[in-house]
Amino acid sequence: MIYYCFIQYCIPTEMELARDSILYVLTLFPVSLFAILGTIQALVRRGTKTSGALTLGFTALVTSVALLRGDIATITACGLIGLTFFTIFSLELSVSPTLLNGLFLTSVLVGITLNILGLAPYGAWPGTEPLGEPVFRAGFTPFIATTGFFSAIIITLNAIKKTAPFRRICLTIGAYFLIFSMVRSALIATGFAILFLILVRRRVIVRTSFQMVYLPLAILCLILLLQADQILFYLSDWGGDTLNRFLFRSTQSIGSSDEAKKSIFRVWLWTEHLRLAGQNPFFGIGTFNLKNVTIMDELLEGATTGSEAWLTGMFARVGAPLALLMADIWSMIHRGLEKPMDLLPMGTGLILLTAMLVYGSFLAPYDFLFLVLAGLLVKDANHRLR
């Protein structure tokens, strides 16, 4: 995790890594070794009767079908995702709050320093001009979504772990970057997590079964929010330049459903992914390029690559076996709510599922945030609800 936290600053944001490049090897090899050796260790130590068994089933089923198809991309991508989740879940590799707060503060310092030197696209305050181009967002990582979701994780972590070191400074800096990174989905996910924390601590929802219902209800609210075009029109006209810049990346208000569609296009993408999944709901259609399998809306040309919705995209790719992986994630969250209660897996689950619905870029085992989110799903046995 520490390795991938810092290697992200070495990966160019404007181009894909060549498969024969040394940077490609440095990116893929460590996590591949971790996943393979960790899987062997888990199977030797505990066999298949362990946390993550369903994830192992997902991996075996998906890679087998992909092998029959000759779909090497799905074998490597889904195999690595499955084995990484299995290793973390089965060996119960939780993340230390002390380590995570330390990495957050260090990342902020590194990111701001690189921006001052002209080597990073985002800076410490909105309006910084990195690489000769005005950017009205603040960040400390090469990809702005990483800044937003890392800040969401830090806020949720420190809201739950009251004894974590550097708690107040991490909350303050995290809130700043959460707001000014302008990653809307990260802000919404943080709101869901904090609201859940308040409801549990005030004993509004007590039973574990009721607490678990909160998860799908929150995700349903997110879906409905992204479909509410009329609300977008109202906010655009009423909010002024500041709110428009946050919601629509522009100081101009939106004037039509078409403009709203282009600004928040995930609903269209979900529909396309589900249409593709309908062609083979049992095992998906395998690796695909969105532009080759759908009629791209003219309004969305250039606005989407098709990777912005990991969950529906993966369903289109592998079909029903995805339910096995999601069931294991659900199980890890449920385990956190059992006594002694640890609220962090639920808070993490809300952030992870939000990211799965609206992002895809950092949901890969060789990404720092992926490893953090997976590790935080593991219950801390020493934690007590405060």
CA-nearest of 260, 288, 259 to 275 is 288
Sign of CA dihedral 251, 257, 259, 264: positive
Residue 292 has pLDDT above 90, yes or no: no
Residue 91 has pLDDT above 70, yes or no: yes
By residue range, what is the domain housing residue 174?
2-222+321-376
138 strand-pairing partners: 123
Query: pLDDT for 217-250, tens place per residue?
Result: 999 998 887 776 545 555 555 545 555 555 555 5
User: Residue 254: inside a domain, yes or no?
Assistant: no
Distance CA(120)–CA(111), nearest Å, equals 7
- When pLDDT is cut at 50, 70 and 90, the band that residue 385 belongs to is very low
Checking 261-265 for CB contacts under 8 A at 24+ apart, the result is 261/229, 261/297, 261/299, 261/300, 262/299, 262/300, 262/303, 263/232, 264/226, 264/232, 265/300, 265/303, 265/304, 265/308
User: Residue 271: inside a domain, yes or no?
Assistant: no
Residue 45: the pLDDT is 84
Residue 176 has pLDDT above 50, yes or no: yes
Residue 49 has pLDDT above 60, yes or no: yes
User: Residue 258: inside a domain, yes or no?
Assistant: no
Structural tokens at position 218: 């929150």
Residue 253 has pLDDT above 50, yes or no: no
| Weakest mean pLDDT among 51-60, 193-202, 296-305, 311-320 | 296-305
| Weakest mean pLDDT among 15-24, 202-211, 281-290, 371-380 | 15-24
User: Residue 305: inside a domain, yes or no?
Assistant: no
User: Residue 352: inside a domain, yes or no?
Assistant: yes
Residue 386 has pLDDT above 50, yes or no: no
User: Residue 250: inside a domain, yes or no?
Assistant: no
Tally of structural domains, the chain: 1
List CB contacts of 353: < 8 A, sequence separation 6 or more: 215, 219, 311
User: Residue 355: inside a domain, yes or no?
Assistant: yes
Residue 360: the pLDDT is 82
Q: Exposed e or buried b for every residue in 186-218, given b needs 16+ CB within 10 A? A: bbbbbebbbebbeebeeeeeeeeeebbebbeeb
User: Residue 359: inside a domain, yes or no?
Assistant: yes
Contact 307, 322 (CB under 8 A): no
Residue 235: the pLDDT is 55
- When pLDDT is cut at 50, 70 and 90, the band that residue 320 belongs to is very high
Q: Count Cβ atoms within 10 A of the Cβ of residue 82 and give its class: 0-12 exposed, 13-18 middle, 19 or more buried.
A: buried
